[in-house]
Structure 1
């Protein structure tokens, strides 16, 4: 029971981090606006920290989208081919994506090394930008792990991954009927 809950937590870690970051930067921005309008007071670091939280939110969201197999792809050309050709093409594109991620991890670590050697600090918070830039290797590594995880689920374990963009009309009509009844 505990192991199952732990795996579910780890499987959705990006989702939880995204929820926390989104809530954080929305609250900070709301507080900033409320203080500015009501009390003519400005929190000097609020915009900077909300910007950092937003960037981290976007990159963790990209890793979460990789877990859901929800990244935008042009798929129509694959529909013309047999299933085996479609699968091979998808694996090849995923390998190219993983290669891109590995290059991004390497290059972002180089940038972080440079920022550590020649420090640059954010203006309001005076944080080392090397710490802020850690989102790049973290998110690209998570995306790589998630791409591999999804491919293993699809092609080895034969688990059907539901398209997050697909609309089940029967399910939608059922929900609408239930909503009208209540």
Structure 2
């Protein structure tokens, strides 16, 4: 993500400087920066999913006990898996069309752009599946269960305690 963002900054800033000083620009950098932004967004979604930082309805979940939170966690992860399956299937259905379409300037196959759907759907779906398995086998941590309900108090102390156990 850092490399994509850095490349975007260099390309866009370079084009601004070139247009300001020399009234010209590099067309490839405009197109590539757009493609990098798409990848950055979807990779970011997977990273945020790993950190459990996506939006949630914590007000309701916070009022439930541990068992209620686990049920809500399983249900929400099942919905995530269903959405990821639909996203993967849609990417799969469009793959042949995207593979034969080429970007106008770089002439890169558009599958390289829209193929990020494979990465995102598999990444988020597998994380949700593994979390369901951890809940069902009783290996979900108290810290993660509290964070699912929006309770981030004393995070460092709980994380340290879990590492020591």
> Aligned with 2:93: secondary structure?
helix
How big is the shift at 1:113?
2.0
How big is the shift at 1:39?
2.1
The one-character-per-residue Cα deviations of 1:108-163 (angstroms, maximum 9, x if unpaired) are 111012333xx221111111112211101111111112223445556632332385
* Counterpart in the other structure of 2:16: 33
| Separation of aligned partners in 1, 2:31 and 2:152 | 38
| Separation of aligned partners in 1, 2:13 and 2:135 | 42
> Aligned with 2:107: secondary structure?
coil
2:127 aligned to which of 146, 151, 160: 146
* Counterpart in the other structure of 2:64: 81
The number of residue pairs the alignment matches comes to 151
| Separation of aligned partners in 2, 1:47 and 1:96 | 36
2:115 equivalent to 1:131: no
| Separation of aligned partners in 1, 2:124 and 2:114 | 16
User: TM-score of the superposition, structure 2-length normalised?
Assistant: 0.80
Aligned partners of 1:112 and 1:134 also within 8 Å: yes
User: TM-score of the superposition, structure 1-length normalised?
Assistant: 0.73
How big is the shift at 1:103?
1.3
| Separation of aligned partners in 2, 1:39 and 1:74 | 52
The change in CA–CA distance for 1:82 and 1:167 in structure 2 (over 3 A counts) is closer
| Separation of aligned partners in 1, 2:16 and 2:75 | 48
Q: Which runs of 5+ in 2 are unaligned?
A: 157-165
Q: Which runs of 5+ in 1 are unaligned?
A: 1-17, 172-182
Pairwise CA RMSD of aligned residues? 2.4
* Counterpart in the other structure of 1:55: 38
2:84 aligned to which of 75, 88, 101: 101
* Counterpart in the other structure of 2:163: none
How big is the shift at 1:167?
6.8
1:157 aligned to which of 131, 139, 143: 139
> Aligned with 1:137: secondary structure?
helix
Matches within 5 A, 1:162-181: 163=147
| Separation of aligned partners in 1, 2:50 and 2:63 | 26
